[in-house]
Amino acid sequence: MRFRGAILALLALASGCRGRSVPAASGPPAAETVETVVPAPFVPEFSVQAIPPEVEARMLGRSYPAQAAIPLSELRYLRLSYYDFEGEQQTGELVCNAAIAEDLRDIFSVLYEARYPICSIRLVDDFDGSDDASMAADNTSCFNYRTVPGQKKLSNHARGLAIDINPLENPYIDRSGRVRPPEGEAYADRSGDFPHKIDRTDLCYRLFREHGFNWGGAWRSMKDYQHFEKPL
């Protein structure tokens, strides 16, 4: 009888295990798969096109007021790659007159190949159309429908025929000695050497002169070291 009872107990135990999950054998956890994200290679861009609708919307009421006397059809939108002050590759935006669009594309292409440092290239509309704010941010820009500072005369920027490069280190100095932007006061003295200085030995100066631009740093009654414009 004892033998029979043992058999029945074993059968009951086996019956109770049916349908239960069997835990996996213990052991070291499987190694996690770590995905390596490879950033896409930087592709430089030097493009010229008519003003896209989305860019026009950004310009209206800022760099392009309702009373602007130049039609948008005479302007071009450029995307230009460059190296910033940290040596990183960037692509910026510029609006200029169609007459100098190819010049600017060629010039900035050479500057990029030479790794010439530019702080930023953004539309002045990112600064609500304020030239002062754009300069204070050391931003390179071109078209802005505005007058010459302190005058009623339209600037060549209003026609998209003038461009300002790294304006903080290359400020505008008027006849009274006022410096714009004020943050560029330390760079008004051009007798010494310092980074991002534009002078007659600078690659940026040489390229713009080769393309027929005049340099504001050569003016007599005032100095505009950031400024290049093309007479047409």
pLDDT at 107: 98
pLDDT at 232: 87
* Interval 192-203 mean pLDDT: 97
Read off the pLDDT band of 6 (50, 70, 90): very low
* 219 token code pair: 């003016």
pLDDT at 18 over 80: no
Q: Which is it for the CA torsion 213, 96, 117, 136, positive or negative?
A: positive
pLDDT at 2 over 50: no
Q: How many CB atoms lie within 10 A of CB 104?
A: 25
pLDDT at 20: 37
Long-range CB pairs of 48-51 (<8 Å, 24+ gap) are 48/76, 48/77, 48/78, 48/101, 48/102, 48/105, 49/76, 49/77, 50/76, 50/77, 51/75, 51/76, 51/77, 51/95
* Interval 201-211 mean pLDDT: 98
Q: Is the peptide bond before 181 cis (omega within 30 degrees of 0)?
A: yes
pLDDT in tens, 82-110: 999 999 999 999 999 999 999 999 999 99
Short-list 149, 160, 163, 180, CA closest to 228: 163
| Averaged pLDDT score across all residues of the chain | 89
pLDDT in tens, 129-178: 999 999 999 999 999 999 988 788 999 999 999 999 999 999 999 999 99
pLDDT in tens, 19-42: 334 344 455 666 667 778 888 999
Q: Comparing 12 with 66, which gets the higher pLDDT? A: 66
* Interval 62-68 mean pLDDT: 96
Q: Comparing 10 with 81, which gets the higher pLDDT? A: 81
* 194 token code pair: 């310092």
pLDDT at 30: 62
Report how far apart, in Å, the C-alpha atoms of 170 and of each of 2, 45, 123 are.
106, 26, 19
